[in-house]
Amino acid sequence: MAVDITLLFRASVKTVKTRNKALGVAVGGGVDGSRDELFRRSPRPKGDFSSRAREVISHIGKLRDFLLEHRKDYINAYSHTMSEYGRMTDTERDQIDQDAQIFMRTCSEAIQQLRTEAHKEIHSQQVKEHRTAVLDFIEDYLKRVCKLYSEQRAIRVKRVVDKKRLSKLEPEPNTKTRESTSSEKVSQSPSKDSEENPATEERPEKILAETQPELGTWGDGKGEDELSPEEIQMFEQENQRLIGEMNSLFDEVRQIEGRVVEISRLQEIFTEKVLQQEAEIDSIHQLVVGATENIKEGNEDIREVPHL
Amino acid sequence: MAAAAAATAAAAASIRERQTVALKRMLNFNVPHIKNSTGEPVWKVLIYDRFGQDIISPLLSVKELRDMGITLHLLLHSDRDPIPDVPAVYFVMPTEENIDRMCQDLRNQLYESYYLNFISAISRSKLEDIANAALAASAVTQVAKVFDQYLNFITLEDDMFVLCNQNKELVSYRAINRPDITDTEMETVMDTIVDSLFCFFVTLGAVPIIRCSRGTAAEMVAVKLDKKLRENLRDARNSLFTGDTLGAGQFSFQRPLLVLVDRNIDLATPLHHTWTYQALVHDVLDFHLNRVNLEESSGVENSPAGARPKRKNKKSYDLTPVDKFWQKHKGSPFPEVAESVQQELESYRAQEDEVKRLKSIMGLEGEDEGAISMLSDNTAKLTSAVSSLPELLEKKRLIDLHTNVATAVLEHIKARKLDVYFEYEEKIMSKTTLDKSLLDIISDPDAGTPEDKMRLFLIYYISTQQAPSEADLEQYKKALTDAGCNLNPLQYIKQWNTTSFFHRAFTKMASAPASYGSTTTKPMGLLSRVMNTGSQFVMEGVKNLVLKQQNLPVTRILDNLMEMKSNPETDDYRYFDPKMLRGNDSSVPRNKNPFQEAIVFVVGGGNYIEYQNLVDYIKGKQGKHILYGCSELFNATQFIKQLSQLGQK
């Protein structure tokens, strides 16, 4: 368990001060302690670098605060049910997205700039190392804050996709019930459906939507209330088949969605790796170039040596 | 009661964890460290001396230092440039030269602010020296915090620690046992040891009950430690052991037992040849502070005449707690290790093939419609494969590491026939009949280095009930000198033997039946499997020895004391309880219950064989924990050197 002896230290400082005064020792700068200290410290190079680094950090901090502040509203899916204060329209969300992106871009540019400037005028190896490390930290901080943003955005996108999916599903249960009640009117449209081979989900939606007004006209036009049992059976079979087709379509689409998400994740990973490799390939390239030069020179030297 | 037991078990948080937590707090400007994913970065510079370096390096890797915000880590006594605007954390011993250098830093205004942390407590006068320098440099406000860390020991494993590395000559076996040591020198050595032990208990957060044997250096340590703990407890204001500082680590139900033993109780174990992985690595390779340095000889090649000799490749590996293979197998007998490496390699290859197979499935996409349905699964598989790649790579790295290390060890074993030595020594120590005469082994030019033979002979000499006759002795000596051994260690051991106390104590123990382990040669099954799988570790001609668990002397002593067993060798051990109001000298322990927690500390040096033996012993006991510590860690080579230095005088 560590023991804090800072107070002890301060006490020692006082003791030493009084002792020195008593002994009449002129402590260099200690007499006008406070004034001298200030005087001493101002000409010290405050470090352009570190103040700018801190500026960048405070900017990133502002971005982070901004994102966190609006995070709750941003993610809130039920904004349409809540009161005005909690609501955030999509345009506002887009605005936040845009602002955040611009901000992030400026921050990363600032970091890049600092990086190039950091190595000028400095001769000490240690200071260079230190600055590189500091910039790495800042970049890491920026990445973490950007992750906040991208998480939010991913949630939002997912919500939108889910909503869309839900909204497409809704007509199905309605039309299903309608179909079973007014089966004869649907006989024509299902056959049309099967011929058209619906590949997208919008088409079934459209067709179903179409059948609704058609049902109306048909219902009015036909005037027949009776159906033969065979026809009923046939219609029911058609219904089942349609439902089956819609379901399989739906499954396929879901699969595709899943795959696309996976692919995007893979893309992310791959881009990262490729970027890493780029740096390494650059260094390998340098090495190879250097090696070729050396070999060339070596060959020349060997040629110069007169054969014995 | 179950909850209490769980609490004590959890409370026995490893010493490694505690020290790491303490270090991290120190690096976080002496404030407890909380992981905050959106926290602002803070950067700092770490300055340490060699002591500090030895303490930090087994616990925190460079990456972990980076994660704590450290941009640079530098030695105190190196050329350091001023870095403006950055706080500096110092972690040094409060010695004269360190203090001087720190004052110089203050005068040169190297950093923005200073956080001074002393590994062990700093004296008042030295603190005033720093205050003086700070005043002179008008830097008093820059000294932000000053702390006494009480971390003056090196933790190597969860349950093993060493006192020091840098100044180990000061507290070595030789330093303690040399005949020409003066009282003041002895005092210094004892003080150093006690200081470290004190720091250890402060970090552990417990006040132990101390037991030690009489008339040894261990007793001196015990007396001093007891005194120091006592003084600290009495000083209510500054006590380091109050309830709130102990925190969660409070052993509120049971206090730990500290057993202080002297190396002289058992000189055979440090010389012993060994068969478990970690101990072998320490014995045979250059293994230091959890880092092993290998010299890879770059194969036999025909080098053209006149070419410069090939440079040997030096590689060093860190064997860390993150290395799962090491954690699992560091105590296993070597053949098992070889087999496990093989198994790991196979499973890694299987995983690699999985990933490669996916690639070929992907290739089918354009051709086979039926594969499309498989594809959706495979996309997910691909993602999981890709994200598991870093894991695979890490696994590969570890497998490579252990393959290299184990191969190096195996080479030594084969070259020096260490398995033969091991078996023979075990037989000697357990007093079973020897099938080969000692003389034969010593004169055998193929088996082992001169040092190996010396070790064998010394073990024999130490373990026999009666000293060999003069004639025999002369014969042995001649054989040893013929083999190239230096006879100085023998001189010392003779002395040790005749020092009535130790010899008496040792023969008392040695007379107990089967005091050392015995081994059996396991039937060839295991070995033949290894060979049949075309393993790299061709252990032909190497015996597949299996250790039977028996207790070494140190373990037996611990067992007696921990379980409150009555035994002539430990009955007259002294008993100290720093918490008792009056220090009484009785040997009668007040506490009659067996201990749950014990710390064994060997004054004069220890090694991994003893450590492994203790670990094996405690494995069988539920809910009990042992920590092993020693003043220095040496392998047989280093020990023989010390013995021969002692024998020279």
List, for residues B406-419, the tens digit of each pLDDT value. 888 888 888 888 88
The two structure tokens encoding residue B491: 């001189």
Q: Do B30 and A263 touch (CB under 8 A)?
A: no
Q: Report pLDDT for A190.
A: 42
- Per-residue pLDDT band at A290 (split at 50, 70, 90): very high
SS3 for B347? Answer: helix
Inter-chain touch A3–B72, beta carbons under 8 Å: no
Q: Does B359 touch chain A (CB under 8 A)?
A: no
Inform me whether the pLDDT recorded for B404 exceeds 50: yes
Tell me the C-alpha to C-alpha distance, in Å, between residue B163 and each of A23, A141, A165, B261. Answer: 43, 39, 67, 15
Cα Rg of chain B, angstroms:
28
Per-residue confidence band for B458, with pLDDT thresholds at 50, 70 and 90:
confident
Q: Which chain A positions have a beta carbon within 8 Å of B85's beta carbon?
A: 46-47, 49-51
In sequence order, the β-bridge partners of residue B293 are B286, B316
pLDDT for position B460 = 82
Q: Which of B27, B32, B30, B36 is nearest to B69 (CA)?
A: B27
pLDDT for A19: 87
The two structure tokens encoding residue A261:
């998400």
Positions of E strands within B104-152: 113-118, 143-148
Asked if the structure places residue A149 within a domain, the reply is yes
Range with the lowest mean pLDDT among A183-197, B269-283, B545-559?
Answer: A183-197
**What gap in Å lies between CA A83 and CA A90, rounded to an integer?**
16
Q: Closest CB to B379: pick one of A68, A130, A262.
A: A262
Confidence class of residue B513 from pLDDT cuts 50, 70 and 90?
very low
| pLDDT band at residue A306 under the 50/70/90 scheme | confident
A186: buried, middle or exposed (CB in 10 Å: 19+, 13-18, 0-12)?
buried
> How many angstroms separate the CA atoms of B170 and B172, rounded?
6
Alpha-carbon distance B196 to B150, whole Å? 8
Q: Around Cβ B179, how many Cβ atoms within 10 Å?
A: 8
∠ CA B375-B381-B382, nearest 5°, is 85
SS3 of residue A12 by DSSP? helix
> Higher confidence at residue A104 or residue A240?
A240
Q: Considering only residues B171 and B535, tell me which one the structure prediction assigns the higher pLDDT.
A: B171
Query: What is the torsional sign of CA B63, A117, B37, B113?
Result: positive
Task: Answer whether residue A38 is part of any domain.
Answer: no
Measure CA A15 to chain center: 58
Decide if B30 and A2 are in contact by the 8 Å CB cutoff. Answer: yes
Element (H, E) at B70: strand B70-75
Query: Identity (one letter) of the amino acid at B526?
Result: L
The nearest CA of chain A is from the CA of B431 a distance in Å of 48
C-alpha span between B147 and A138 (Å, rounded): 29
* Cβ contact B150–A1 (<8 Å): yes
The residue assigned the tokens 């009161």 is: A83
- b (16+ CB within 10 A) / e for B573-605: bbbbbbeeeeeeeeeeeeeeeebbbbbbbbbbb
Choose among A28, A126, A133: nearest Cβ to B80.
Answer: A126
The total of structural domains in chain A comes to 1
- Assess whether pLDDT exceeds 50 at residue B309: yes
Q: What is the pLDDT of residue B302?
A: 46
B358 touches chain A (CB under 8 A): no
What share of chain B in percent tops pLDDT 90?
10
Looking at per-residue pLDDT, the higher value among B213 and A184 belongs to: B213
Q: With beta carbons under 8 A apart, name residues in chain B contacting A265.
A: 383
Nearest to B426 by CA among B513, B517, B555, B515: B517
- Chain A nearest-CA distance from B94, in A, is 14
Q: How far is B614 from chain A (nearest CA, A)?
A: 27
The distance of Cα A236 from the centroid of its chain, to the nearest Å, equals 49
B-chain residues within 8 Å CB-CB of A51?
Answer: 85
Q: Does the pLDDT of residue B622 top 90, yes or no?
A: no
Is position A86 within any domain? yes
CB contacts of B386 in chain A (<8 Å) are 266, 269-270
Q: Mutation test of the interface with chain A: which of B23, B31, B36, B40, choosing the one with the most A Cβ atoms within 10 A?
A: B40
Chain A hits for B99, CB-CB cut-off 8 Å, are none
* Alpha carbon of B146: minimum distance to chain A alpha carbons (Å): 5
The answer to whether residue A143 neighbours chain B at the CB level (below 8 Å) is no
- Flag whether A42 is in a domain: no
Note whether residue A142 is domain-resident: yes
Residue burial B316-330, b: 16+ Cβ < 10 Å; e: rest: ebebebebebbeebb
Number of residues that make up chain A: 308
**Mean pLDDT throughout A191-207?**
42
Per DSSP, the three-state class of B281 is helix
- What angle do the packed helices B334-363 and B370-387 form, to 10 degrees? 140
For residue B42, what are its two tokens? 């803070």
Assess whether pLDDT exceeds 70 at residue B508.
Answer: no
Question: In the 8-state DSSP scheme, what is residue B606?
Answer: B
Q: Of A2, A5, A124, which is closest to B26 when you measure between CB atoms?
A: A2
Which of A17, A133, A255 has its CB closest to that of B135?
A17
Taking the CA of residue A204 and the nearest CA in chain B, the distance in Å comes to: 23
Q: Which residue of A has its CA nearest to B385?
A: A266
Does residue B44 surpass a pLDDT of 70?
yes
Query: And the tokens for B584?
Result: 């009484």
**pLDDT above 60 for B229:** yes
Eight-state DSSP code of residue B578: T
CB B464 within 8 A of CB B493: no
Residue A81 resides in a domain: yes
> Strand order of the sheet with strand B44-48?
A3-4, B143-148, B113-118, B87-92, B44-48, B70-75
**A157 is a domain residue:** yes
Nearest CB neighbour to A130, from listed B71, B131, B145: B71
Helix (H, G, I), strand (E, B) or coil at B235: coil
Domain that holds residue A296: 48-170+264-303
Q: Report the residue of chain B nearest A270, measured CA to CA.
A: B386
Please choose, from the candidates A163, A167, A162, A160, the residue with its C-alpha nearest in 3D space to the C-alpha of residue A90. A160
The one-letter code for the residue type at B534 is: G
Question: What distance in Å separates the CA atoms of residue B93 and residue B74, rounded to the nearest whole number?
Answer: 15
DSSP B273: -
Asked whether residue A52 is domain-assigned, the answer is: yes
**Of the listed ranges A138-142, B270-274, B550-554, the one predicted with least confidence:** B550-554
- CA distance to B212, B264, B496, B502, B590, per residue, from B215 (Å): 9, 11, 15, 10, 22
Handedness of CA B180, B183, B185, B189 (dihedral sign): positive
Q: How much is the pTM?
A: 0.76
- Cβ(B298)–Cβ(B288) below 8 Å: no
Give residue A187's pLDDT.
43
Most A-contacting residue of B105, B138, B149, B200 (CB-CB within 10 A), to test interface: B138
Sign of CA dihedral A197, A201, A207, A211: positive
Partners of residue B155 on adjacent β-strands: B161
Q: How confident is the model at residue B297 (pLDDT cuts 50, 70, 90)?
A: low
Question: CA B462: distance to chain centroid?
Answer: 26
Cα–Cα dist A203/A192, whole Å: 12
A200 touches chain B (CB under 8 A): no
Q: What is the mean pLDDT of residues B592-609?
A: 87
* Burial class of residue B299, CB neighbours in 10 A (0-12, 13-18, 19+): exposed
For residues B511 and B431, the answer to whether their CB atoms sit within 8 Å is: no
